[in-house]
Structure 1
Amino acid sequence: MTNPLEQVLFEVKRTIVGQDVLLERMAVALLADGHLLVEGVPGLAKTLAVKSLAASIAGQFQRIQFTPDLVPADLVGTRVYRQHTGEFQTELGPVFTNLLLADEINRAPAKVQSALLEVMQEHQVTIGRETFPVPEPFLVMATENPIESEGTYPLPEAQVDRFMMKVVVDYPSREEEHAIVDRALRPPEPTQPMLSTDDLVAMRGRAREVYVDPAIVDYAVRLVAATRSPGTAGLGELDRYVTYGASPRASIALVTGARALAFLRGREYALPQDLSELALDVLRHRVVLSYEALADDVDPDTVITRVLGAVRAPDVVLQNR
């Protein structure tokens, strides 16, 4: 099985230096019909990466710059009274697109962020008494800045859980930063569309045919259960740090993400390594820690890494595969 998104990733890498993990997770989200949350300090090309990916896919693209003065109608739309006809008409908002970039999503208050709940889960928007479906495929890719608290708002847990993955972007290496500066000295080349939305929908259908062994599903369930009660995995010392663990939506995201990653790498079957490789990105934003964890400088990645080491991966025998 050839890599169907290889040309897309190659086209994006003509603009973006490094960030291989982020780009791979973007491709997984595209194939698995998931939404992506990207966190990193300013200046790491988070927004540029999402824009370049959108440009490489010939679909509709909208960007919303989240600010404290936004209202929900600025996202989903509203009903407008037309005086000359005496009737109300529905004006649809920018969420009616294929790929929505929610830039600096934590700069808008909770009521605005919550306006995305319905459209992210059900791919539809209800305005008044009418329900409008969004175009397919539909993905939300959001960025947030973790270091600035002035004028920012924490995302509601219900919305955070709707993001399939949260990818943390780090600083580039010295060699990568050298290449970034070199490219900045030249005019940027426009990103060319390499796929259509119909191609992407067809690839999603092929990705769903990737074989997932029942043992891998059980592995995902055991991992997620251990985030809720680490003591069941022999990590009783972590129980006091965990207030809430991951929801069943995390188990689904682990399995569908592993299936998409296997397809991306040209395999017709998923392996436990696919699942464990995505575990940090799928689980880190779903684990809510206690104040004791904050006092002891324990973060979600520490807990999840310990859980990954304690929960045994299955020995999957793929006969006739």
Structure 2
Amino acid sequence: MNDSSPQGILVCDKPQGLSSHAVVSRIRRWFGTRKVGHAGTLDPMATGVLVLGLGRGTKLLGHITGVSKTYDATIRLGAGTPTDDADSEPDLITDPAVLAAVADADIETGVAALRGPIDQVPSAVSAIKVDGKRSYARVRAGEDVVLEPRRVEIDRFDILETRRDLGAGHIDVDVVVDCSSGTYIRALARDLGADLGVHGHLTALRRTRVGPFDLGAAVTIPEDLDSPTPPLLPLAEAAAALLPTVSVDAAGAKALMQGKSLAGPWASGGEALASGAEVAVIGDGELVSVAEIRGDSSLKSRTAFAIGLA
């Protein structure tokens, strides 16, 4: 059985103004395939790394969604918006005298307080579902939505530059953030402003890294979708960047695809693999499956990628 449709991972540099769904639609047209998905939404205002899976690459997206991410952002202190970013007009304005009293040291202290593990309340205008309905849809319908806090990890939250324009009523703070999956950078902007007593929202956001995938590997989506398509990152290479790898021969690959277990113990890079570990199984240079190390040290396939073996 041969599958000539595109199979692999594409890292793209999402342009401003497009939703992640719109990017998926453009990639479908560009590559001439329907089976395309993405690993984690970027708001239309944001730019930067959006990882997409094509064909069997969509099966790998679940392993990409939960990885850590890096963002460059600009936080504007002095005003808040309903969406916590620049996609809506300010509805909370700080008194200029109060804003002028905020020193750089105060901003640094506020940023430091938001590093590490924190309980973050996501922005109400978000895609989180509440009783089966998107939170943003409930807000737009006039409902007062307050989401439950979520534990996230802010590994890095550093100030790059602070620019004051008190005449215009704001202080802009350029930052870089390394964080766990599920973190809302616009919620960090909102909370920093709230902690300083001056309101805050996000005016710029660029995602520069998703796990092992960064802007250096990203392609720009052309306006002319009849342009030649770039090569996709092979599934084996993408999986190896995300997970420990083990190699199997043709017989082992076929056995895994038939639902059988392969006796262990198993190791990757000279390190023994513990029970419960997820691994990328490679056979003849191809991704056979994402498998799990069982309690008896055997290997059992969880997600099959190879075709024509079972």
Greater Rg by CA: 2
Decide which structure has greater strand share. 2
Give the TM-score taking structure 1 as reference length.
0.24
Decide which structure has greater helix share. 1
